[in-house]
């Protein structure tokens, strides 16, 4: 990665950049989008690098909310291939990872566009992630879950330490709501590394969310900022945690770069940004009649948060669950959480990495023996079945279980071929 960073136009531009870098088990994509929206509202030209994408690779690389164009993607793609070829002439035994190449492509585009603010989402963890090499003293851990344990460690404490290494010595690490004992140990680890830790559990107060006109509304107090009735376009109770992390991150960075920014100006910036920011696939409404929502969460903890959100959003409305889980995920625990909400369910499979339909149906039936369960052999069949059942029984449709399922369902819903999506 270091070789890429020393190439032009990246090297000169990067010497002037102080990136905001975000990691976490869940919520990091939402936090990145919110931070980028706040900085853009503050007048900055913002580069945003996230992963994975839902439909197109271009979604990963954005400037001021606009995806990289096909033409510019071809330019940076060819540049990275040429640079790798040059590198391997010097180091023939070394291999460049895909995420390293993608990160370099993003940085080349941002350097060419001369962005003056950069927000990056880590791929896995922090200690060995490509984004760690990007200069940036303001970082965040959004949440913690037992994930990628073969790489990050087998306990939440080890995972927290790995992710915390995204922050350089002397930097500031903002931490979302995590287990109190893990937080205590993380504070010790950060003190040893001379990292200033800001836990939103300790430095902020914020209310439980309420819903007004299909927007999430909450109150927050942080230092001398007293933000009442903040409206967030993103749905889900867990988005309050993400929004608070994003506000603290953005506030810290803006105070460093624009010390004359008043509280009144900052409040106006935050309100406007949060009311308009949207993120693909996060409890997103994708169809009007019947109402169909998708959520790309793929871990048991993400499902727990989703269930809490749905129970608050639709406490008395029947829900039709369409689910399909990738074969390499924790099927039992994912379905154990999802099983709490539906009045009826459809089990299906994504073309990409989908588990066997009957395996899912049997698992769900063991968790909820009384639940009516239908099966659809393909995503296309699931779309037709879901629309028919939802209209017939007047139910809301929730598509949940993983990113591949949601992306393919939306494509099929739009009458397009779901198998054509390139997930990488």
Strands, sheet with 117-121, edge to edge from the N-terminal-most edge strand: 66-67, 61-63, 46-49, 117-121, 20-23, 138-141, 172-175, 196-199
| Domain 284-420 architecture | Alpha-Beta Complex (3.90)
User: What's the mean pLDDT when you consider all of the chain?
Assistant: 96
Q: Which fold has domain 2-276?
A: 3.40.1190
The encoded tokens of residue 186 equal 């993380």
3-state secondary structure of 418: helix
Q: What is the pLDDT of residues 299-347, one digit of tens each?
A: 898 999 999 999 999 999 999 999 999 998 999 999 999 999 999 999 9
- Return the closest-CA partner of residue 284 out of 38, 54, 50: 54
Q: Residue 47's pLDDT band (boundaries 50, 70, 90)? A: very high
Percentage of the chain beyond pLDDT 70 is 100
Position 69 pLDDT exceeds 90: yes
- The residues, ordered by sequence, that sit 6+ positions from 294 with a Cβ below 8 Å of its Cβ are 281, 283, 284, 286, 398, 399, 400, 406, 409, 410
pLDDT at position 393? 97
pTM of the model: 0.95
Q: Residue 28's pLDDT band (boundaries 50, 70, 90)? A: very high
Position 423 pLDDT exceeds 90: no
Domain spans, the chain: 2-276, 284-420
- Return the closest-CA partner of residue 320 out of 294, 351, 288, 355: 294
Element housing 286 (H / E) = strand 284-287
Residue with tokens 């836990």: 199
Position 424 pLDDT exceeds 80: no
Q: What is the pLDDT of residues 252-289, one digit of tens each?
A: 999 999 999 999 999 999 999 999 999 999 999 999 99
The encoded tokens of residue 276 equal 């308009």
Burial bucket for residue 232 (CB in 10 Å: 0-12, 13-18, 19+): buried
Position 361 pLDDT exceeds 90: yes
Q: Mean pLDDT over residues 375-389, rounded?
A: 98
Cα separations (Å) of 197 from 172, 205, 248, 313, 314?
A: 6, 17, 12, 33, 37
Position 140 pLDDT exceeds 80: yes
Contact predicate 246/31, CB 8 Å: yes
Contact predicate 50/29, CB 8 Å: yes
The encoded tokens of residue 61 equal 């690389």
d(Cα 188, Cα 201) in Å, to the nearest integer?
16
Cα separations (Å) of 143 from 49, 146, 279?
A: 19, 10, 18
2-276 and 284-420 agree in CATH topology: no
Range of weakest confidence among 63-67, 209-213, 411-415: 209-213
The encoded tokens of residue 195 equal 């990292």
Residue with tokens 């990160």: 103
DSSP states along 214-256: TEEEEEEEETTEEEEEEEESS-STHHHHHHHHHHHHHHHHHHH
Give the DSSP letter of residue 221. E
Q: Where are the beta strands (DSSP E) in 348-422?
A: 373-375, 396-400
413-417, long-range: CB within 8 Å, 24+ apart, which pairs? 413/286, 413/287, 413/292, 413/383
3-state secondary structure of 415: coil
pLDDT at position 146? 85
């Amino acid at each position: 990665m270091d070789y890429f960073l020393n190439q032009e136009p990246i090297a000169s531009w990067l010497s002037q950049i102080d990136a905001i870098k975000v990691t976490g088990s869940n919520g990091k994509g939402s936090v990145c989008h919110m931070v980028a929206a706040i900085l853009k509202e503050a007048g900055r030209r913002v580069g945003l690098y996230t992963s994975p994408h839902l439909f197109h690779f271009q979604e990963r690389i954005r400037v001021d909310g606009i995806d990289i164009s096909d033409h510019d993607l071809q330019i940076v793609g060819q540049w990275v291939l040429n640079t790798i070829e040059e590198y391997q002439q010097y180091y023939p035994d070394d291999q460049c990872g895909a995420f390293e190449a993608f990160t370099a492509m993003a940085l080349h585009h941002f350097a060419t566009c001369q962005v003056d603010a950069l927000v990056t989402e880590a791929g896995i963890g922090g200690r060995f992630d490509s984004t760690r090499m990007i200069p940036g003293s303001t970082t965040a851990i959004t949440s913690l879950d037992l994930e990628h344990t073969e790489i990050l460690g087998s306990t939440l404490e080890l995972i927290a330490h790995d992710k915390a290494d995204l922050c350089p010595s002397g930097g500031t690490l903002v931490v979302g709501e995590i287990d109190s004992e893990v937080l205590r140990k993380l504070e010790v680890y950060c003190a040893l590394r001379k990292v200033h830790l800001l836990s939103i559990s300790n430095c902020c107060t914020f209310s439980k969310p309420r819903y007004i006109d299909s927007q999430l509304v909450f109150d927050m107090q942080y230092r001398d900022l007293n933000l009442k009735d903040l409206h967030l376009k993103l749905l889900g109770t867990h988005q309050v945690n993400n929004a608070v992390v994003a506000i603290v991150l953005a506030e810290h960075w803006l105070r460093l770069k624009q010390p004359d920014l008043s509280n009144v100006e900052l409040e106006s910036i935050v309100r406007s940004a949060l009311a308009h920011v949207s993120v693909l696939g996060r409890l997103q409404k994708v169809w009007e009649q019947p109402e169909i929502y998708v959520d790309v969460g793929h871990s048991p903890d993400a499902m727990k948060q989703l269930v809490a959100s749905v129970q608050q959003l639709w406490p008395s409305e029947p829900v039709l669950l369409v689910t399909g889980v990738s074969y390499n995920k924790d099927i039992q625990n994912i379905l154990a959480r999802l099983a709490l909400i539906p009045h009826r369910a459809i089990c299906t499979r994504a073309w990409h990495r989908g588990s066997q339909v009957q395996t899912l149906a049997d698992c769900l039936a063991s968790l909820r023996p009384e639940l009516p369960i239908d099966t659809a052999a393909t995503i296309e069949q699931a779309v037709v079945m879901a629309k028919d059942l939802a209209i017939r029984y007047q139910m809301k449709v929730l598509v949940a279980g993983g990113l591949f399922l949601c992306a393919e369902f939306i494509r099929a819903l739009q009458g397009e071929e779901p198998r054509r999506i390139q997930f990488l």
